[in-house]
Structure 1
Amino acid sequence: AHVGLGEDTGGLDIRRMTLQEVTFVGTYAYTAQDFRDAAAAIFEGKLGPLDWFERRPLADGLGAFRDLRAGKVPAPKIILVP
């Protein structure tokens, strides 16, 4: 589902699809069971340390993006916590 309108930036014209109420279906390359198995492995600690992300306060969002862009963050992802 797509909600709202945006500018046409080329490629897939989401604005036109929204205005014409086009229905489209997307998919991932895994099944619901694959997702449950992967989630269980994470929660059970079977994947080792999850040091590919760090948490920061939501108020530090701008600084977090700047640090990511500047390569100052060892983790490739930052979770902003309200």
Structure 2
Amino acid sequence: MYFQPVNAILAAYGLTLVTAGGPAPTPTPTSTGNPPGGTTWQAGTGYAAGATVTYAGVSYRCLQGHTAQPGWEPPNVPALWQRV
């Protein structure tokens, strides 16, 4: 068994950990007329799976729909973004 304390990181980003059912959040999809390489990543924006963004001059593809939060920049969360 492995234990990783999460309270500090949850508090740092104002998050809560849900361990039982409930409705999943529905992200707001990005516009469809994106330029090549997508739009520039921005916190507070909803991204649908498959959307592309640029961050620090690098293109990324969204792997799962979500609303971006500070600290969730594409190079920081490989569960959400894949470099293309």
Which bin holds the TM-score, normalised by the shorter protein?
under 0.3
Task: Looking at secondary structure, tell me which structure has more helix per residue.
Answer: 1
TM-score (norm 2): 0.23
- Please state which structure has a larger fraction of its residues in strand: 2
Q: TM-score, normalised by structure 1?
A: 0.23
In our comparison, the structure showing a higher alpha carbon Rg is 1
